[in-house]
Amino acid sequence: MLLNKIKYRLSLAFRELNRVRYRMLGVSVGKDVFISWGAYIDTCYPGSIEIGDQCCITNGAKLIAHDHSVYRLPQQEGAHDDGTGRIRLGKNVFVGAGSIVLRNVTIGDNAIISAGSVVGKDVPPSVVVMGNPARVIKDFSVNDAL
């Protein structure tokens, strides 16, 4: 019993340490956020990622806010894309194992990103998305009452 309490308190301390680490690297992290040690959050451009309160980012999930492949593409006249972007996670967002969230994406409050999904477009609030590319499969904002 005592050993379990010690393990639990240590896990809470490590979670806080991980949140502090990302805050120091320039990521905006809300309150009560869980970030797995196996998750990857892009810190190349400080301030490019915002994580809302009570989010959960699980093992193997990746939040990537830059993409320099644009330098390999022929540029159209008058258009300039430097390959950087922003990622915004609303409150109470769950990002499943192995998911990838790409640049210039906003994920609405209470959204669930299923394991292994690749999110390249904005996700509305209160939905479940899955697949590559990620598509809405369930919308919780619709009242299912008869």
Residue 98 main-chain phi, psi, to 5 deg: 75, 10
Query: How far apart, in Å, are the Cα atoms of 66 and each of 42, 105, 112, 131?
Result: 8, 11, 22, 21
pLDDT digits (tens, 9 = 90+) for 95-104: 999 999 999 9
pLDDT of 138 above 70: yes
Residue range 38-45: mean pLDDT, rounded: 91
Catalytic machinery residues? 68
- 3-state SS assignment for residue 7: helix
pLDDT of 78 above 60: no
pLDDT digits (tens, 9 = 90+) for 84-136: 889 999 999 999 999 999 999 999 999 999 999 999 999 999 999 999 999 99
Decide yes or no: CATH 2.160.10.10 for domain 2-68+83-137. Answer: yes
What is the residue extent of each domain of the chain?
2-68+83-137
Residues in the chain: 146
Q: Is the pTM of this model over 0.75?
A: yes
pLDDT of 144 above 90: no
